[in-house]
Amino acid sequence: MYRYDNRKLPEGGIVAYRTELIESVDLEAMSRTIASLSSRASVRQYSERNVTDDTIRMILNAARQAPTSSNLQAYSFVVIRDLEKRRLLSQIAGNQSHIVTAPVLVAICADLNRLTRVCQHRKQPATISGVEIMLVSVIDAALVGMGACLSAESLGLGTVMIGALRNEPEKVAELLNLPHGVFVTFGLCIGWPAYLPPPKPRLPENVVIHWERYEPAVMGHSVRQYDRQLSEYYREIGANGWAWSARIAHHLSYEHRTHMRDSLANLGFNISDRG
């Protein structure tokens, strides 16, 4: 069962978007956060309206209240407004035009450099090699990145995450003057949307939510159902898109970014040991 809702654009005008209704849920009791998450979508078309530094600070400071392992706060933000720098980053990311048209790009960094310097100040050795500490920093960065996304969208701004900055992590690090022990996990475009797309359907609940134990048996029929639903979504927005399962099969038929282990090691994230 679907409902079409009208959503106001900051620049004026209205766009219709479709939300899936779950009849067993008390919609009156739904919080604004749940409603926002249920209808969110990545925005790739931005108006020319500026986003002030004060607004960006408010968004990022709210995001910094995200959970962080052992209070390490192993992340940093680099706010990028310079147009030429964003053009270069767009090229690295496969010429994604929204990196240029959005007024702000925030590089969400995993940061072990600051922790190392704290240990040096305390005259203690810092053990920052190994898989676990790298995971901690990447998870910390992901959590604050999602917090920034939700904070921005709560103000009516649009966002899209840019994982393709990992195409050339060392070049990105050089461009942003990142010290040893810092790399960009992903970017976040922030701006006022010129167009709000409808939310993309997700996999059926029974494929991803398990109770007490993992139940893989339900997947076959549900994935075929999702293939049809996603194909319908692409037709509705006038886009060409593969069936989800076909796209996944193709995506995983070869390795991606095979340079990452060496690049991360060069940037100070050594994951070759057993740590």
pLDDT in tens, 124-147: 988 878 899 999 999 999 999 999
Q: What is the dihedral of CA 150, 154, 156, 158, to 10 degrees?
A: 0
Q: Which two tokens stand for residue 185?
A: 């996990």
Protein fold of 53-195+257-266: NADH Oxidase (3.40.109)
**Tokens 């767009």 -> residue:** 90
**Adjacent-strand bridge partners of 234:** none
What's the predicted TM-score (pTM) here?
0.88
The helix (H) or strand (E) run that includes residue 231 is helix 219-236
pLDDT tens digits for the chain (275 residues)? Answer: 334 454 555 554 444 444 444 445 565 567 888 888 888 999 999 999 999 999 999 999 999 999 999 999 999 999 999 999 999 999 999 999 999 999 999 999 999 999 999 999 999 988 878 899 999 999 999 999 999 999 999 999 999 999 999 999 999 999 999 999 999 999 999 999 999 999 999 999 999 999 999 988 778 889 999 999 999 999 888 888 788 999 999 999 999 999 999 999 999 998 765 54
**Size (the chain), residues:** 275
Distance from C-alpha of 223 to C-alpha of 217, rounded to nearest angstrom: 11
Q: Is the dihedral of CA 34, 39, 41, 45 positive or negative?
A: negative
Distance from C-alpha of 101 to C-alpha of 89, rounded to nearest angstrom: 12
